[in-house]
Chains A and B, each alone.
Chain A
Amino acid sequence: MATAPIPGAAPARTSRMNPWVLAGGLAVVVPLLAVLVLNLGRDPRSVRSPLIGRAAPAFSLAPVGGGAPISLESLRGRPAIINFWATWCVPCFEEHAALTAAARTFREVHFLGIVYEDEEATTQAFLAQRGSSYSSLLDPEGRTAIAYGVFGVPETFFIDGAGRIVEKYVGPLDRGTIAALIARAKGGAP
């Protein structure tokens, strides 16, 4: 392009990247991308329970329908499964059948339900209708649920014979998972 020279015209600007800007940008973007990629498959709501490997929090709660309170202490010596559930929780329905069947199969394991934010009458009606092979306990002020770090229902804790929490399972259990986790609770017993 032949044009008359213009006094003060800027020289043609070449697009060159300042290496420091590039390095700074990468230093910010790469770690963020790494965190994103590493956590893509992770459910943001599932926080690993700090109770795993620790002694299960003690409780002493009255069963649904009345009777003497059942304490964690009284379950010592055998593995225990503690299932937090509610009648308003649909996944708990499916799980209830699997747990009831498993409690009949695994006689050497204590099965316990703890009712989470539900009425005693509703729970009693549910259990009368569907049947159960193990006790469900009432936790009227939710203290036991809080002590176990329950976020929602269903959540199930697998406890070994020494009273240590071996695993926490979030979501509805099926028979295969119950059997596998019982094996771990037994393996964890001293």
Chain B
Amino acid sequence: MNRVALALVLVAAPSLAAAQASRATAGGIEAPRSHPLSGAELDARTSDIGALLRCPVCQGLSVADSPSSMARNMKAEVREKLAAGYDQEQILASFERSYGEFVRLDPPMRGVNWLVWLAPLAGLAAGGAAVAWALKRSSRNAGAAEATGPASAASDLPSRDTLPADPRLAAAVRRSRELAYGWPGGIPPKPRSSAS
């Protein structure tokens, strides 16, 4: 029962957040949702929120990092709103009303933005699946090669006893193997343990 409730909450949360965000965007001035800040806390929160806002006149700089007068004015406005008791989301939404979502350096999880958050995870999962599949296939091929002997290995990849078709190159490869691995004549020793 609890699990069902939790699942419902998890499913509903993004849409609730979206609804809340659109209400905040559509509405005018709302009442402050937090308590008024002052002193060191006000300074700290001002730079926290400044770091989440894009400076509109800069190239990829946050309001907290930019020395431009526009960013200074925006910081002053953030500070004033924090001192009046507005919370972070209300302040970000107020700038978003003027500049659009562009002004947020940390895009909120709603609408098409979910793609930004989910695509890397999906990519990771797909990549992991591809690697797992390739590993499984190569170990199956290696098993088949061991069972039937090296000459009839079905793998596309060269095995340790593959030789190039060119006889001179093949001789050089054999010589290299002899030097590198100490195999007499460059011929790999028979596997110690057999699959069968």
Q: Which residues of A line the B interface, CB within 8 A? A: 3-4, 6-10, 12-13, 24, 47-51, 54, 57, 117, 141-143, 145-152
Contacts and interface: CB of A to CB of B under 8 A. Distances in A.
Contacts of B111: none
Given A4-B167, A10-B158, A146 B95 contact: yes
B99 A12 contact: no
Contact of B100 (A3, A6, A50, A145): A50
A13 B156 contact: yes
A8 B161 contact: yes
Interface of B: 25, 56-57, 69-70, 73-74, 76-77, 95-100, 102, 126, 130, 150-151, 156, 158, 161-167, 170
A51 B170 contact: no
B162 A10 contact: yes
A6 B165 contact: yes
Contacts of B69: 117, 142
A9 B164 contact: yes
A50 B73 CA distance: 21
Chain B interface, >50% SS class = helix
A31 to B, nearest CB: 11
A183 to B, nearest CB: 26
Contacts of B74: 146
B156 A143 contact: no
A9 B170 contact: yes
Contact of A149 (B100, B158, B166): B100
A118 to B, nearest CB: 10
Contacts of B96: 50
Contacts of A49: 100
Contacts of B164: 9-10
27 contacts: A4-B167, A6-B167, A7-B151, A8-B161, A8-B163, A9-B165, A10-B158, A10-B163, A10-B164, A13-B156, A24-B126, A47-B102, A48-B100, A49-B100, A50-B97, A50-B98, A54-B97, A117-B69, A117-B70, A141-B73, A141-B76, A143-B77, A145-B73, A146-B73, A146-B95, A151-B57, A151-B99
A30 B99 CA distance: 31
Contacts of A143: 73, 77
Contacts of A146: 70, 73-74, 77, 95, 98
Contacts of B98: 50-51, 57, 146-149
Contacts of A151: 56-57, 99
A149 B99 CA distance: 5
A57 B73 CA distance: 17
